[in-house]
Amino acid sequence: MNRNKDLKNYKHDLNYLNHSSSGRLRSNTGYVFTYIILIIQSLVIIYPIFLTITTSLKTNRQIFKNPFGMPTDFNLGNYIKLFEKANYVKYFLNSLIVSVSAILIILIVSSLASYALSKYKFFGNKFLSLYFLAGLMIPIRLGTINIMQIFQTMHLYNNLLSLIIIYSAMGIPAGILIFSGFMKEIPDELNDSGRVDGCSEFGIFRKIIVPLLGPAIVVVAVYNLIPIWNDFWFPMVLINNENLMTVPLATAKLFGQYETDYGIIFALLTSAAVPPMVLFITLSKYFVKGLTAGAVKG
């Protein structure tokens, strides 16, 4: 009797081990497959960046002779010509002024508007929210002709201020959407406690609300930096002065009718990618945190 019981227990333990090992094997196989997919995706993303950097270190002759190979010598001549002879420091400075100014305006205006829309109930609140969200659905490029006419009337044609105004208008709707999601999750009791302590409404916003919006601020800044920094359309339409050109617009100058120096073009592309990449790498921790936090906010 005991022998039969021991045999049953042995079979039960053996079945349990088999199921456990097979489940562990399936789990490990799933992990391996996931890592393979991630590695392939990483290579697809990293290889073009690597190819751009290596090409920027080649001469035109090397590029056409061996476009996918490594440079024979790491020559920085393209970068020297780019910044010394072509004077691209000026274009980078123009892009930096436009991008930083527009992002600061977006952060200030959209955070203040989101505070009013999410923390105060008044007539037309929902209409205003929908009005701002409409800015995400209607492409601003549809109004290019009217925008150009308006800036000509305001004597802002060939002026960096026109680009700052356009990019600010483009980024404010998305900024309001992101900030509103965060602010709705901030307890109203914090605002009430600030009022009890004698804090003004702007003081409540500055001292209580803003410190809690760190991840949202990073998301809005990074989200808007890429399209502003890379935009070619509005500088092409609104800027005709060579001294006011931004990097994307100045890049078009490098394409000649009969000859093009691709080494300098790739050097420019590599240099232009550095500021957004540095910002994203520096703030990636807060960017991911902001995206995941905003994903569950209503």
pLDDT in tens, 63-115: 888 878 787 777 777 888 777 766 788 888 999 999 999 999 999 999 998 88
Angle at 281 (CA atoms; ends 277, 283), nearest 5 degrees: 115
Instruction: Please compute the mean of the pLDDT values over residues 4-25 and round it to a whole number.
Output: 50
In a domain, 241, yes or no: yes
Instruction: List, for residues 33-58, the tens digit of each pLDDT value.
Output: 878 888 888 888 888 888 888 888 88
With cut-offs at 50, 70 and 90, classify the pLDDT of residue 10. very low
- Torsion angle of the four alpha carbons 285, 230, 176, 168, in this order, in degrees rounded to the nearest 10: 130
pLDDT at 128 over 50: yes
pLDDT computed for residue 124 by the predictor:
75
Q: What is the DSSP letter of 71?
A: P
End-to-end CA distance of the chain: give it in Å, rounded. 65
Cβ–Cβ < 8 Å for 55, 262:
yes
Distance CA(160)–CA(296), nearest Å, equals 38
With cut-offs at 50, 70 and 90, classify the pLDDT of residue 2. very low
Residue position matching structure tokens 């105060």: 120
Point out the least confidently predicted range of 78-87, 147-156, 206-215, 284-293: 284-293
With cut-offs at 50, 70 and 90, classify the pLDDT of residue 280. confident
| Same-domain pairing of 163 and 49 | no
| Same-domain pairing of 121 and 44 | no
Residue position matching structure tokens 């751009």: 52
The total number of structural domains that make up the chain: 2
Distance CA(36)–CA(252), nearest Å, equals 39
pLDDT at 249 over 70: yes
pLDDT at 143 over 60: yes
Select the more confidently predicted residue: 132 or 29.
132
Q: Which residues contact 81 (CB under 8 A, 6 or more apart)?
A: 264, 267
At what angle are helices 160-183 and 262-294 packed, to 10 degrees? 30
| Same-domain pairing of 123 and 219 | yes
* CATH code for position 207: 1.10.3720.10
Task: Please state, in angstroms and as integers, the Cα–Cα distance from residue 70 to each residue in 25, 143, 266, 269, 271, following that order.
Answer: 41, 46, 14, 18, 19
Instruction: List, for residues 197-247, the tens digit of each pLDDT value.
Output: 777 878 888 888 888 888 888 888 888 888 899 888 999 889 888 888 898
Distance CA(152)–CA(146), nearest Å, equals 10
pLDDT over 90 for what percent of the chain? 10
In a domain, 277, yes or no: yes
Distance CA(76)–CA(85), nearest Å, equals 14
| Same-domain pairing of 166 and 22 | no
| Same-domain pairing of 25 and 130 | no
Q: What is the DSSP letter of 213?
A: G
Instruction: Please compute the mean of the pLDDT values over residues 240-267 and round it to a whole number.
Output: 78
Neighbouring C-beta atoms of residue 271, cutoff 10 Å: 17
How many Cα atoms are found within 13 Å in the side-chain-facing hemisphere of 19?
A: 6
Cβ–Cβ < 8 Å for 289, 174:
no
Point out the least confidently predicted range of 104-108, 175-179, 234-238, 262-266: 262-266
pLDDT at 5 over 50: no
What sign has the CA pseudo-torsion 221, 227, 229, 233? negative
Distance CA(167)–CA(231), nearest Å, equals 9
With cut-offs at 50, 70 and 90, classify the pLDDT of residue 26. low
| Same-domain pairing of 51 and 125 | no
With cut-offs at 50, 70 and 90, classify the pLDDT of residue 125. confident
pLDDT computed for residue 6 by the predictor:
47
pLDDT computed for residue 166 by the predictor:
92
| Same-domain pairing of 45 and 129 | no
pLDDT computed for residue 97 by the predictor:
93
Q: Which range of residues forms the domain containing residue 200?
A: 77-294
Structure tokens at 95: 């892009």
In a domain, 198, yes or no: yes
pLDDT at 21 over 60: no
pLDDT computed for residue 295 by the predictor:
44
| Same-domain pairing of 114 and 204 | yes
